[in-house]
């Protein structure tokens, strides 16, 4: 292994393409069947908030980066192909839909009580500074169910308390949405790809009803009838009236819920990267894996003000174990962006604030990892 890593480093230092053999994630996999991918991709430094998500189109050789108010398109070498700007809401996690070639991302406008899936026609992104409203590269689909939970008047005082964690309002602690990913229905190993959308969840240690990750499932096969260009000064409400599934994963409260959601066909896991929670009595892991092959089971949604049942997901029986709660999880940093490539390799984003010519910017980059299943972190960086 050390010799392999030295060879990778030498190739990178020399500016050479790293041979696929050196990037193989498992001795049992044929390296010749795996595309050559760089061990590191630079996403640029932008005058925005931090990087929120990353997704890679291996077939076409492009990388898409969410920078909160901007979508950035680069090639695999990190050369900028184009950007979509002008977003006034919060663009979160993103994922490529392999079927239609478009990029889908969570988009929030909390002051307007409006939550969307943004749909980017990425083939049309060919220059920097394209406008999300006027250049025909983005449409949006509104999610009514998120609004219902975000605006829920849990204390029955007739007042919506707004975007704040210091309130008993917001059903399940819903702060909106963030993690998104395409994958099979829970309990299935394949089949039709559904869009899964994870709630943001406020960090609040004074309540007990916010200890689940909440995931909505949507069949997007008929979404063409809902897609509309988004005028941000007058946001539309075009979207499905009903979801196709609503699921709950008991993890303990986390800070703003699932930041990055990803289906991993290699391990058959649904991966949830979070900002660690702060509640005592919980292990407060930063990374969870849901067993994708386990059928959701009907059961109690713990901690609710009135008894409630729902479709419960099963955490994978792997990783760290908390003896007090029985919760399983890992310690890893995929909350800025995580993309499973399907063959045991993954791009994991990192970000930081930097000064460029006296201007504060946010930098994003992605590193290539392979699955090991080790604890406390189940990945190993390649290169």
User: Which tokens sit at 126?
Assistant: 């060919």
> How many Å separate Cα 244 from the centre of its chain?
19
Cα–Cα distance for residue pair 83/129, rounded to 1 Å: 5
Q: Are 198 and 183 in contact (CB under 8 A)?
A: no
Whether the bond between 376 and the residue before it is cis, its omega within 30 degrees of 0, is: yes
pLDDT, averaged in runs of 10, over the chain (383 residues) = 39 34 37 76 97 97 98 98 98 97 98 98 98 98 98 95 95 98 93 96 97 98 97 97 97 98 97 97 98 97 97 97 98 97 97 95 98 98 93
Cα–Cα distance for residue pair 349/332, rounded to 1 Å: 12
Cα–Cα distance for residue pair 302/249, rounded to 1 Å: 10
**CA proximity to 182, closest of 246, 238, 265:** 265
User: Which tokens sit at 315?
Assistant: 């955490």
Residue/partner pairs of 220-226 with CB below 8 Å, 24 or more apart: 220/97, 220/194, 220/195, 223/119, 223/141, 226/141, 226/142
Number of other residues whose CB lies within 10 A of the CB of residue 99? 11
What is residue 61's predicted lDDT score, i.e. its pLDDT? 96
User: Which tokens sit at 175?
Assistant: 């702060």
What is residue 34's predicted lDDT score, i.e. its pLDDT? 62
Residue/partner pairs of 347-354 with CB below 8 Å, 24 or more apart: 347/41, 347/54, 347/56, 347/63, 348/379, 349/43, 349/51, 349/53, 349/54, 349/65, 350/51, 351/50, 351/51, 352/50, 353/50, 354/45
What is residue 307's predicted lDDT score, i.e. its pLDDT? 97
């Amino acid at each position: 292994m050390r010799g392999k890593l030295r060879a990778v480093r030498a190739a990178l230092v020399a500016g050479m393409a790293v041979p696929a053999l050196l990037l193989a994630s498992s001795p049992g996999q044929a390296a010749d069947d795996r595309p050559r991918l760089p061990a590191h991709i630079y996403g640029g430094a932008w005058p925005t908030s931090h990087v929120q998500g990353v997704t890679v189109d291996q077939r076409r050789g492009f990388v898409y980066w969410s920078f909160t108010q901007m979508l950035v398109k680069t090639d695999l070498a990190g050369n900028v192909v184009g950007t979509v700007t002008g977003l006034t809401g919060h663009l979160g996690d993103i994922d490529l839909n392999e079927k239609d070639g478009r990029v889908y991302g969570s988009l929030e406008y909390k002051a307007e009580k409006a939550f969307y899936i943004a749909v980017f026609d990425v083939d049309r992104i060919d220059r920097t500074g394209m406008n999300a409203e006027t250049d025909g590269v983005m449409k949006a689909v509104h999610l009514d169910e998120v609004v219902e939970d975000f605006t829920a008047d849990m204390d029955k005082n007739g007042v919506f308390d707004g975007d704040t964690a210091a309130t008993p309002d917001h059903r399940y602690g819903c702060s909106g949405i963030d993690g998104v990913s395409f994958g099979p229905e829970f309990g299935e190993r394949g089949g039709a790809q559904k869009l899964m959308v994870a709630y943001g969840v406020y960090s609040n240690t004074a309540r007990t009803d916010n200890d689940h990750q909440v995931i909505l499932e949507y069949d997007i096969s008929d979404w063409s009838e809902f897609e509309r260009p988004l005028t941000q000064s007058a946001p539309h409400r075009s979207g499905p009236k009903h979801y196709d599934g609503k699921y709950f994963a008991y993890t303990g409260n986390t800070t703003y819920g699932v930041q990055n959601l990803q289906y991993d066909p290699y391990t058959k896991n649904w991966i949830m990267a979070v900002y660690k929670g702060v509640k005592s009595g919980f292990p407060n892991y930063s990374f969870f894996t849901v067993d994708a092959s386990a059928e959701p089971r009907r059961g109690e949604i713990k901690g609710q003000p009135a008894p409630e049942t729902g479709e419960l997901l099963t955490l994978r029986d792997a990783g760290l174990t908390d003896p007090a709660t029985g919760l399983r999880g890992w310690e890893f940093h995929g909350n800025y962006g995580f993309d499973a490539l399907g063959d045991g390799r993954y791009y994991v984003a990192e970000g930081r604030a930097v000064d460029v010519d006296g201007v504060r910017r946010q930098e994003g980059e992605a590193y290539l990892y392979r699955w090991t299943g080790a604890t406390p972190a189940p990945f190993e960086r390649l290169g």
